[in-house]
Amino acid sequence: MWAELERLGVTLYLHPALFPADHWQVFEGHPVLSGPSWEWTAAVGAHALRLIYGGVFDEFPGASVTLGHMGELLPFQLARLDSRYHQADPAGRPRELPSHYLRNNCYATTGGVYSHAALLGAVQAIGADRLLFSVDYPYESTAEAVEFLRTAPVSRGDLERIAHRNATDLLHL
């Protein structure tokens, strides 16, 4: 599958599911933490890290995944992920630091995280060329998403990349 995605130059979108495959006891008795508020972010972020630590992008360096919700918050953990890299068994860690793969093999959408602070942090962490505007319909407000983008405190070039150019390039539109 990864060879074919790489050959076609298309990305795989990792998105949370309504019914998680795993049952994490930490969420029991706290339904507000389940689903979109935290559980899905943690699960999808963990899957992305498993791809990185599983060597997928070492074997298929042209492959990519797209993560929703501002990269499932992974862009904000780059320093922590990189600092823990050397603690992993050398036989079970990727060739590069995790931040390398998040900057080169991952894209992030803005969907559901309409925070200018988060957007600026993601731009600094992984680059404006890795961000894609998204609405996350029907769970989030389209009007709020559009207003978020319209008022984003980024350069005109970065705004154009995030708003449409990155998607045009990534999706071969």
Active-site residues: which are they? 136
Q: Assign residue 105 a region: left if phi > 0, alpha if psi is -120 to 50, beta otherwise?
A: alpha
Q: Which residue has the tokens 């609405």?
A: 135
Sign of the C-alpha dihedral computed for residues 173, 115, 117 and 38 taken in this order:
negative
Helix (H) or strand (E) holding 83: helix 78-85
Tell me the two tokens of residue 127. Answer: 């680059």
- The number of residues making up the chain comes to 173
Tell me the two tokens of residue 150. Answer: 């319209």
DSSP 21: S
